[in-house]
Chains A and B, each alone.
Chain A
């Protein structure tokens, strides 16, 4: 008897959920999506309508229609009839693992510099057809021909950024100038660090004055040791969970990307940002097409779409990272134009990540695991 009533409820629950999901579709039409006057330069027609495009991107890395932003993927679908399957990853390594598994295929990925270099070495990237990416002309020449794609064949820069130290002025009274703040016992329990090997090691390497791409294993050892030492006073390892923690005042010190800091500061004015004197990491995240993609044509169309001045502006205004798109940089409507953190007049000392030898890579991944296990 008991079982039967339990089942009846479940059956009803099912009906209710179905109703709810229909209601969702229904209401959707009644909420006006933020409409913008779009002027597009490329040609977008419905010749590929009905096909799908699998996009694999970082979390929080494209306007998705929330809080008044434009839903870029939806817009693209409206224009072309191509369905966009959009999924996200947490860091470069997770993206690589997923791609390597062989069970999934994507048409668009947006890895960082060193990961592009690695994927290129491993022949995992497809050449882009630049004749179909007419908006490539907007890419700032200083982001072309970089070490990870010297011939400009495989990647189109999406955004650029630098890592810095975010701190809460309520807890940290004196403006910090060094990565050493992250080892200051005074702030025990208030410190966050990156939850991925490359970025976390970089903090420790810079503090110790090492090259980020060193091939000296003892330097990696020392950097790992430093991270283990930090664990005693560390609150947690985070990626995008950082927003919550810094905005709510849950943590007071954290290294993260400058653009994300600007977003956090909007929600918590007590936050400040500094590029530490030891120098920092600069990165370029670029759009690529992995080998094994199923819809190359649509991918080219999508890349060109992302580079449209109006779309790139939307992206830059949502993501808050520095943009490599000159059309945006010259646009007076761009609210972050000349922002002191994104586009500093005097750049801090910066280093790019390079893809290190697989031997070193295996070694630091092993060390990273030891850090996490410690």
Chain B
């Protein structure tokens, strides 16, 4: 059984990592092909670093991801508290249903629905250039919100509400009670919501594709237009760099965690 388990797991990993391995190998290709390997070279890395528009797209992606995940987290946490404390069953159900819409809807529908709204409003106010950073930010916040709400809600359910009431009985305003009692206890949920929102925003292509304008390109949009052209391995070089940095961090954090666990076990013993 153990062997079957190992072999099976290994096979799935091969499947998951085969394209990534291909990408890494071909990023060192001396020829400009992404399918015929013509020797080792670092030239695509040099081309990449020389390509200011790709670097700008990377920066844009980060700015958008940071901003949208922060706003979504603040707004989402407040809404989770609000939804949680709703007394009427129908209101709660309605709020949850609306929250679920962006998660259940295909991205393409979310994307075009927002685009239709932005363009419509843009035309109403006479703006010729309504699509851009602002619309992308709104779109990203919108699809991030449900993930924040749904990771904060379970934590709220676990929180002891007598504590908040006790705090208020002792003279706290509801706002103070929230910050002093509720927020600390839901913090893990808030944080995981923030990180999920950040990841989703970083990698989103479909919704961005429909809400983007000429003056703000993110990396996925840039990569999409690159794969529509003459694809050169510099795109693979970029992904390899991102992959290696993620991998490195994973290994580091894993080692750190294993160590701290060992220490804890040692302390117990």
Contacts and interface: CB of A to CB of B under 8 A. Distances in A.
Interface string B231-269: 110100000011001101110111001000000000000
By CB atoms of chain A within 10 A, which of B36, B115, B213, B228 has the most? B228
B61 to A, nearest CB: 8
B33 interface: yes
Interface stretch (A24-32, A126-134, A328-336): A24-32
A17 B225 contact: no
9 shortest interchain CB distances as A-B pairs: A59-B229, A24-B55, A103-B131, A103-B119, A243-B230, A54-B214, A105-B128, A292-B128, A27-B49
Contact of B35 (A20, A56, A241, A250): A250
Contacts of B252: 12
B59 interface: yes
Given A59-B229, A241-B228, A248-B35, A3 B192 contact: yes
Interface residues of B, number: 61
A170 interface: no
A339 B190 CA distance: 65
Contacts of B138: none
A14 B198 contact: yes
**Interface secondary structure of B, over-half rule:** helix
For this complex, into which size category does the number of interface residues on chain A fall? 35 or more
A28 B228 contact: no
Nearest to A195: B228
B195 interface: yes
5 contacts: A14-B62, A21-B58, A33-B50, A103-B115, A103-B130
B113 interface: no
A67 B32 CA distance: 10
B129 interface: yes
A258 B224 CA distance: 25
A14 B197 CA distance: 13
A107 to B, nearest CB: 9
A244 B49 contact: no
A6 B195 contact: yes
B62 A31 contact: no
Given A54-B215, A101-B119, A103-B119, A28 B49 contact: yes
A10 B131 contact: no
Contacts of A18: 62
Contact of A66 (B51, B58, B66, B245): B51
A13 B246 CA distance: 6
Nearest to A56: B214
A102 interface: yes
A81 to B, nearest CB: 15
B225 A244 contact: no
A338 to B, nearest CB: 26
A21 B51 CA distance: 12
Interface stretch (A82-90, A180-188, A345-353): A82-90
A87 B131 CA distance: 14
Nearest to B222: A87
Interface in A62-116: 64-67, 74, 85-88, 90, 101-106
Contact of A240 (B54, B217, B230): B230
B174 interface: no
B225 A88 contact: yes
A298 to B, nearest CB: 14
B191 interface: yes
Contacts of A343: none
